[in-house]
A and B are shown apart, each in its own frame.
Chain A
Amino acid sequence: MRATREGRREGRWFYFFISPWLIGFIVFALFPVLASLYYSFTEYDIIHAPEFIGLGNYRELFQDELFWTSIKVTLKYTFISVPLTLALSLFFAILINMKVPLRGFIRTAMYFPSMISGVSMALLWFWVFNPQAGLFNYVLSWFGVDTINWFLDEKYAMWALIIMSFWGVGGGMLIFLAGLQGVPESLLEAAKLDGSGRVRTFFRITLPLISPVFLFQLIIGMIDSFQVFTQAYTITQGGPNYSTWFYVYNIYINAFKNFRYGYASAMSWILLIGVLAITFLIMKMSNRYVHYEGGSSR
Chain B
Amino acid sequence: MSDLSLATGEPPKRRRRKADMAQIIGFLILLAVTAAMIMPLWFMLSTSLKSTKEMLAYPPSFIPNRFEWGNFKELFANSELKFGQQYWNSLIVAGLTVVGTVLSSSFVAFGFARYRARLSPFLFMLLLSTLMLPYPAIMIPQFLLFTKLGLHDSLLPLILPNFFASAYMVFLLKQFFSSLPNEVYDAGRIDGCRELRLFWNLTLPLSGPVLATVAIFSFIWSWNDLLAPVLYLDSQENFTLPIGMAAMLSSKFRIAPWNLMMAASLLSVLPIVALFAVAQRRFVQGIVLTGIK
Interface residues of A (CB under 8 A from B): 7, 10-11, 13-18, 20-25, 27-29, 31-33, 35-36, 39, 46, 92, 94-96, 98-102, 106, 108-120, 122-128, 130, 132-135, 138-139, 141, 167-168, 170-172, 174-175, 178, 198, 213, 216-217, 220, 223, 226-227, 229-230, 233-234, 248, 251-252, 255-256, 261, 264-265, 268-269, 271-272, 275-276, 279
With A29-B130, A115-B276, A127-B47: A109-B37 Cβ-Cβ less than 8 Å: yes
Contact assessment for A133 and B60 in the assembled complex, using a CB-CB cutoff below 8 Å: yes
The verdict on A32 contacting B134 (CB below 8 Å), with A115-B220, A118-B225, A124-B40 known, is no
Stretch from B2-10, B73-81, B113-121, B182-190 contacting the other chain: B113-121
- Chain A residue with minimal CB distance to B230? A233
Q: Which of B63-71, B205-213, B285-293 contacts A (4 or more CB under 8 A)?
A: B285-293
Contact across chains for B261 and A98 when beta carbons are under 8 A apart: no
What is the size category of the interface that chain B forms with chain A?
A: 35 or more
Interface contact B132-A276, CB-CB below 8 Å: yes
Question: Do A135 and B30 contact each other (CB < 8 Å), given the known contacts A20-B163, A117-B224, A248-B136?
Answer: no
CB proximity of A281 to chain B, nearest CB, Å: 13
- B23–A28 CB distance below 8 A: no
From B37, B44, B104, B130, A110 is in contact (CB under 8 Å) with B37
- Can you spell out 10 A-B residue pairs with CB atoms less than 8 angstroms apart? A13-B195, A14-B117, A21-B108, A28-B142, A32-B141, A100-B27, A101-B27, A113-B37, A120-B224, A124-B43
Q: What CA separation (Å) do A290 and B123 show in the bound complex?
A: 27
Asked if B140 is an interface residue, CB under 8 A from chain A, the answer is yes
> What residues on A are CB-neighbors of B117 within 8 Å?
10-11, 14-15
Q: Nearest chain B CB to A56's CB is how many angstroms away?
A: 17
Cα of A164 to Cα of B246 in the assembled complex, Å: 17
- Check if B137 sits within 8 Å of A36, measured CB to CB: yes
A217 to B71 Cα, complex, angstroms:
40
Query: At the interface, is chain A mostly helix, strand, loop or mixed?
Result: helix
Contact in complex: A233, B27 (CB < 8 Å): no
Cα–Cα, bound, A133→B46 (Å): 13
> Which of B27, B30, B145, B249 lies in contact with A123, CB distance below 8 A?
B249
A96, A115, A120, most chain B CB atoms within 10 A: A120
Among B55, B115, B142, residue most surrounded by chain A Cβ atoms (within 10 Å): B115
**Interchain CB contact under 8 A, B287 and A175:** yes
Q: How many Å from the CB of B112 to the closest CB on chain A?
A: 6
Complex CA gap A223/B110 in Å reads: 28
Task: Give the residue of A18, A29, A125, A234 whose beta carbon is less than 8 angstroms from that of B111.
Answer: A18
Tell me if B93 counts as interface (CB < 8 A to partner A). Answer: no
A268 touches B138 (CB 8 A): yes
Q: Are the CB atoms of A110 and B34 closer together than 8 Å? A: yes
Complex alpha-carbon distance, A96 and B120, angstroms: 42
Q: Which residues of B contact A229 (CB under 8 A)?
A: 136, 226-227
**Identity of the chain B residue whose Cβ is nearest the Cβ of A34 in the assembled complex:** B141
- CB neighbours (8 Å) of A108 from chain B are 280
